[in-house]
Every structure is written in structure tokens, then in C-alpha cells.
Amino acid sequence: WRDNTYPGCACDVPTALYSFSFAPSPDWSHIFARQPEIHAYLRKVAADTGIRDRVLTGCELLDASWDDDAALWRVRTSLGELTAQVLVAATGALSTPRLPDVPGIGTFRGQVFHSAAWDHDYDLTGKRVAVIGTGASAVQFVPEIADRVERLIVFQRTPAWVMPRGDRTLTRPEKLLYRRIPLTQKVVRAAVYTFREGYVLAMAKAPRLLPAFQLRAKAHLRRQVPDRALRRKLTPTFTITCKRVLLSNDWLRTLARDDVDLVDSGLAEVTERGVVDGAGTETPVDAIIFATGFTPTEPPVAQHLRGRDGRTMAQHWSGGPQAHLGTTVAGFPNLFLMYGPNTNLGHSSIVYMLESQAAYINGALAHLAAGAAAVEVHPVAQARSNERIADQLRSTVWNTGGCSSWYLDKQGRNSVMWPTFTFRYRSRTKRFDAENYQTRLAVQESVV
């Protein structure tokens, strides 16, 4: 929410749920909050809780290595070196932009940037713009810039299912009620949570229910795109929710405009003057905007964390991230991940999962404070945890829906999604399961 400042950037989870349970706000402007107010909310919570005063910014992690003899993490940063008993990697799963390796991209004389690093100094007015990607970011900014540019060429690899976005402005009486009677906002949050958990029944428990959702998505497509040929290009061949469902009231309508071209043959090459599609047609453009997502299965931080054997976490994973409860990794004592493997959701709020993880890590810290020098998850416990997740994922739409998504890692395993209800995850992380860890006791110095 700090970096993604592209036009139209907003959340696709209702803010009643996409907010901290301990810090409700009666001031949200819409059901689905926009980036500026989410960012402002996060800064306010950090300031109100005193966290901001304890955070050092502008400090890049260069390397972190576990010193087994000293039972410490030795951390090298752009501002110097430090040691820590505990290291928490909270870098996020959808934070590092992914730029595809397109032939000729270095020769292009126009402007190039990723949607997650939007160039606000570049004026798009009257420009011919190519957008690469049709995912969750593109559906938000393409309708926002369509009126400003001369022409838009949108490159689609595979179409996505699109559902209406049930958004509206929150009224003054609603905000006043939330402010005067905070319990009402908690009731709304609970209702949204319960409704969203119901999606798991279709996605993970009974995928046979999903065609009903597809009918609604198809009706939305018919309403917004009169042209049959274009509708065929925009109709997915996989089961809905196999890939992330997009929420938008104006994305499909924008693609149907006369000054917008949808290219479904892929981007083959970039030249000095423009872009070449899979059919070999070159189109001159002034700017290229990549909306190509992130690197959830290959988090860059994993290349900078070295465990007990000196190898990086990326080397341990070999393109297939695994962790115990998405939080701890065998071979990496006193290291905890936030938003780690298999903690992403297709139906609810990641904030709920992060709060569950925070409680689990607090339990681990209490265990350490009680006289332990280090804790490390047993490899057997980690393997058992991942086998259980794999078994639960096997019958879900993410594994049976016939799509290729960013949920799958290089080994073909779904190492991103949590396979069942979020309250199941909270139940499993409610306490720190020390029995699944190797605990090294702290050495007590004798006093003479």
C-alpha cells in the first residue's frame, strides 16, 4: 500500500474485514477502500500504537546468517551490522514486481514501468500506451487512464473471470453509528467474515457449485461487451476461482471501447518504436506499462537468509517454498515468516491470517523468554504439515480447475494458497506448538 500508487488502486476485500481487529476505523469512505486511505490508516495505527517510533526506515537488508555457536542472527544492512536473537521476515508475498524477459525491451525508446512502481512524472495524456497483463492491477488502472491516452493496446495472456464490484460510498449515518456504537462495526465485520468463509465451500469443499458463479460472471460479460468476438476472447476456459477472480464494474466496458485494442496472441517482442504481438504485427507505442504481478513463490528475501548449514532459504526451497504453518522453516532457528508459504487466500482477508501468525510468533517469543536460546521446527513436523496441506489442496479448484496460475511454483506445487477455512488456521496457530520444535536451552551463568 506504500508502493502501489497506480490510478484506481484499491482493495478487493471489504474494508470492514481488511483492517486490524484491534483498530477499527469509522472513517472509511467506501466498502472497498482506496490505496491512499489504506496507507494513511496503516500509518495512523503505527503511530497510535507507538510502533512508528521504534522502526528504522531506509535500511536495506543485505544478508542475514545464523550463527549456531552464539545462537544469534548476524544481520548485515545498508546502515551497518547488528545481531539479533530472533529474526522476522515480513516482506510480503505480493511486494516484489515481476518483469518478464521480453526480447528487445532494452532497445525501446519510450517510457517503461511496472504498475507497482508507477511513474507519476510521466504524462500519459495523448500517448499510445501498451499494457502488458490483465490481472488485478490492470483492471483497476486501465479504466482510469483510458480517457487520457490516445490509444490503449492491452496484451492478454489468458482471460480472467470478472464479477461485479459491489462497492458504494459509506453514508454519514453509517459512519456516525460506527463512531457512537463501535459494536455495530464489529457486527458488520463478523457478518462479512462469515459470508466470505462460505466461499470456501465452493472453492475447496464442493467445486461442483462453481458453475453457478460462472453464470453470473458470464451475464456480467454479456452486459458490458456487446461484441461476440470480443466476448469469446474474454471468456476463460478454466473453472472460476481457479485463478484470482477480478472485481470490476468498468474493466470489461473499457475493453469494448473503440480506442482500446485487446491482443490475445501475446507479446513477442519490443522494438525501438513499439510492441510486436504473437502474430508478428508491430504497433507503435509511446509507453509500456507492465501489469505482470509479483514473485510469491520466489520471494527475494529468501536469497538473503542463510540457515544453520550456510545455505540460503532459496537454496533449501529450490523453487518450491515450504514452511510449518507458513511461519517457520527447518534449518533456520529463531526465524519467523509473515505471509509465508500456503497462507494466501482466495476468499477472505490476509489481515486475519497475519494476526493469527502474529499471535503464534508471540507464543514462540514467550517460549524463548522462558529460558530457551533457540527454537527450530522439526523437519518431520514441517513435512507432516505440508503433506496435510497438499492433501487438502488436491480436491480444490486451484488444483482441479484447469488453469495455470501464480499459485503454482517451479515444482508444480501449490505453495501459495491456504486450502480451507481461515478459522482452521487460527485454531492451529492459537498456541505455539513447542512439541514440534527442537528447543536449545539457554546457558545459565553461575554466580560465585
Separation CA 437–CA 435 (nearest Å): 5
pLDDT (mean) for 262-271: 95
Instruction: Give residue 96's pLDDT.
Output: 81
Instruction: Give residue 132's pLDDT.
Output: 96
pLDDT tens, 292-349? 988 888 889 999 999 999 999 999 999 999 999 999 999 999 999 999 999 999 999 9
Instruction: Give residue 447's pLDDT.
Output: 39
Strand locations in 257-405 (E): 260-263, 267-270, 274-277, 282-284, 287-290, 305-306, 335-337, 372-377
The reply to whether 105-160+201-290 shares the fold of 58-95+297-441 is yes
The answer to whether the beta carbons of residues 177 and 320 sit under 8 Å apart is: no
pLDDT tens, 241-256? 999 999 999 999 999 9
pLDDT tens, 355-391? 999 999 999 999 999 999 999 999 999 999 999 999 9
Domain spans, the chain: 1-55+173-197, 58-95+297-441, 105-160+201-290
Q: Percentage of the chain surpassing pLDDT 90? A: 90
Give this prediction's pTM: 0.93
Separation CA 373–CA 71 (nearest Å): 7
Say if domain 105-160+201-290 classifies as CATH 3.40.190.80: no
pLDDT (mean) for 212-232: 96
Q: At residue 448, does pLDDT exceed 50?
A: no
Helix (H, G, I), strand (E, B) or coil at 31: coil
Give domain 58-95+297-441's CATH architecture.
3-Layer(bba) Sandwich (3.50)
Q: Percentage of the chain surpassing pLDDT 70? A: 99
| Mean model confidence pLDDT for the chain | 95
Q: At residue 164, does pLDDT exceed 90?
A: yes
Instruction: Give residue 444's pLDDT.
Output: 53
Separation CA 360–CA 421 (nearest Å): 17
